[in-house]
Chains A and B, each alone.
Chain A
Amino acid sequence: MSSVLYDTPGPRAKVRNALYTVGFLVVLGAALYWVLRTLGDAGELEADKWSPFFTDSRVWTTFLLPGLVNTLKAAALAMAIALPLGAVLGIARLSDHAWVRGVAGAIVEFFRAIPVLLLMVFANEAYAMWTNVDSGVRPLYAVVTGLVLYNASVLAEVVRAGILSLPRGQTDAAQAIGMRKWQVMTFVLLPQAVTAMLPAIVSQLVVIVKDTALGGAVLGFSELLRQGDLITVNYSNPIAAYLFVGLLFIVLNFALTGGAGWLERRIRQGGRSSGKALTTEQLEELENVGPEPVTGRGGETGRT
C-alpha cells in the first residue's frame, strides 16, 4: 500500500518502522498482560465463570438467544416503521407548500435534538398513563417508539439529501415529458436516490441495533444486554457476560453492514442511478441541527 503521506521506506525508514512496530507491540502486550493479570487476581478468569458459555447450552437458550430475538425484534420493527416514515418526512421537507415544509422541518429538527433515551423513558411512561398496552410488551413499544421518532427524523434528512444530490436535469427532463410532481418523485427521483442513500441508511440501521440496548438499561426491556445481566445474577461473571454480549452485537452489526454492502453492489451493477453515494461522513454531517441546507443542487453532495 502506498500513500501520499510518506515516502516508500528506504533502508533507514524500514529499520525505524520495525522499531515502531516492536515498541507498539511491547506496549500493547504489556497492557494486555496487566489486564489479564489483574482480572486473574480479581478471580474473573476462573473457569466456572467462562465455562457456562461453552458447556452449558442453557445459558444460550434461556438468556442470550431470547435476548437476541428481542433485540432483533425491536430493531426490525423500528426499521420497518422508521424507513417509510422517514421517507415521507424527507419528501415533505422538499414540498412546494411552505406549511408542509415548516411542519415536517419542525418535527425533524425537534426529534433530532433530543436524546433517544429521553424519548424512550417518556414513551414508556406515556403508554403506562394513557393507554392500556399490556405491561409485558410496553417496554418493547416504548423502545420502538423512541427509536422510530429519532431515526425517522435522521432518515428524513438522509432522504432529503439523497434527492437533492440528484442532478437537476432529472427533474427537468421528467417535467418536460409531462410528469406530475408525485410522478417525478416516485418514478424518477426516489428510485435513483435509494442507491445514493444506501450507505447512510445502513449506518443508521447499525445505530438502531445499538440503541435497543438503551431500553434494557433504563426500561428493563429484556434485550441482549439486559439478559446478560440475568446471566451475571446466576454466575456472577460480569466480565465474561458483557464480553459475550458485546461480541454478539458486533457480529450482528458486521452482518448488517456486510449484507448491505452486498446489496449496494448489486444495485450499483444495475448502474441506473445518476446520484453519487452519500458517505457515512456526510451522514454524520446531517446530524448537524443547524438550519443551513445540507446539500447544494446539481450533483454536489455533502459539504458546501
Chain B
Amino acid sequence: MFDFLDSPQYNLLGAFWLTVQLTVFSGIGALVWGTILAGMRVSPVPVMRAFGTAYVNVVRNTPLTLIIVFTSLGLYNSLGITLGGGGDIESINFRLAVLGLAAYTATFVCEALRSGINTVGLGQAEAARALGLGFFQVLWSIVLPQAFRSVVAPLASVLIALTKNTTVAAAIGVAEAALLMKEMIENESDAILLVFAVFAFGFIVLTLPTGLVLGWLSKRVAVKR
C-alpha cells in the first residue's frame, strides 16, 4: 500500500526540502525587509512613514497567490528581473517565489515589530536621547533589541504561517510539497487519503518543532518587567 511512496517518480523528500529552503530564504528576506519597513514607519521622515504605511496596507490586503503569480508574469516576463543572472528556469522561479513570499511576509514582520516597539518602556528611549543618541542609534542599539525579544512568539507564528504559505509557490511551478501532492493525488486516485495523510504529517513535522522551540525561546529571552 505504501509502495508508491518509494517510487522514483515522486521525490517526496526533495519536495519537502524545497519547502524548507523556500521557508528559510524568504524568512530571512522577510525579517530584513520587515525590520526596514518598521524602521520607516517610526522614522522622523514623513515620506518614509507614508511609504511604509501604504506598502503594508496594500500588500497585506492582496492575496499571496496574486503576488506570486505577479512575480512570474510581471517581474520576470515583463520586467526581465531574474534576481541574480540567468540560471535555469527552475532556479529563477525559486528566487521569484522567495521574493514574493518575503515581500508579503515582511508586512506581518513589520506589524509584529511595531507592536514590540510599543512595549519598550518610554524611559529607555528617553534615556538614550538624553545621552545624545540620534534616531538610528536609539532604534538600532536600544529599542529594537528589546522589541525583538518581546516579539519572538508573534514572529514564530509568522514563520509558521510562512512555512504553510510556501505551498502557494506551486502556482508558478516551483516543485515544492503542494505541487507534488497535487500530482500524486491525480495519479494515485485510489490512495488519496494516504497521500493527504503523508503530506499533512510532513507539514506537522515542519511546523510543530518551530512552534515549540521558538515558544521556549520566547520565554527565555522575554524582557522581565
Binding site for B on A (CB under 8 A): 3-7, 9, 13, 17, 20-21, 24-25, 28, 35, 38-39, 42, 44, 110, 113-118, 121-122, 125-126, 129, 206, 210-214, 216-218, 225, 238-239, 242, 245-246, 249-250, 253-254, 279-282, 284-292, 303-304
Contacts and interface: CB of A to CB of B under 8 A. Distances in A.
B181 A121 contact: yes
13 contacts: A24-B48, A115-B165, A115-B167, A118-B167, A213-B66, A217-B168, A218-B170, A218-B182, A246-B66, A285-B153, A288-B156, A288-B160, A303-B154
Given A117-B167, A213-B64, A290-B211, 19 more contacts: A7-B129, A17-B45, A114-B203, A114-B204, A125-B189, A238-B77, A238-B78, A239-B74, A249-B61, A249-B66, A254-B57, A254-B61, A281-B111, A282-B154, A286-B157, A287-B161, A288-B156, A288-B211, A290-B214
B61 A126 contact: no
3 closest Cβ contacts across the A-B interface? A287-B157, A290-B215, A213-B63
B90 interface: no
Contacts of A213: 63-66
Interface stretch (B3-11, B28-36, B192-200): B192-200
Contact of A6 (B135, B182, B222): B135
A288 B66 contact: no
Contact of A242 (B70, B138, B168, B170): B70
Contacts of B154: 281-282, 284-285, 303
A116 B164 contact: yes
Interface residues of B, number: 74
Nearest to A124: B185
B115 A281 contact: yes
B63 A210 contact: yes
B153 A35 contact: no
Contacts of A290: 156, 211-212, 214-215
Interface string B170-209: 1100000010011001000100110010011001100110
Contact of B192 (A17, A125, A206): A125
Contacts of B1: none
Contacts of A17: 44-45
A212 B63 CA distance: 8
A125 B185 contact: yes
Given A38-B79, A214-B65, A3 B204 contact: no
B164 A114 contact: yes
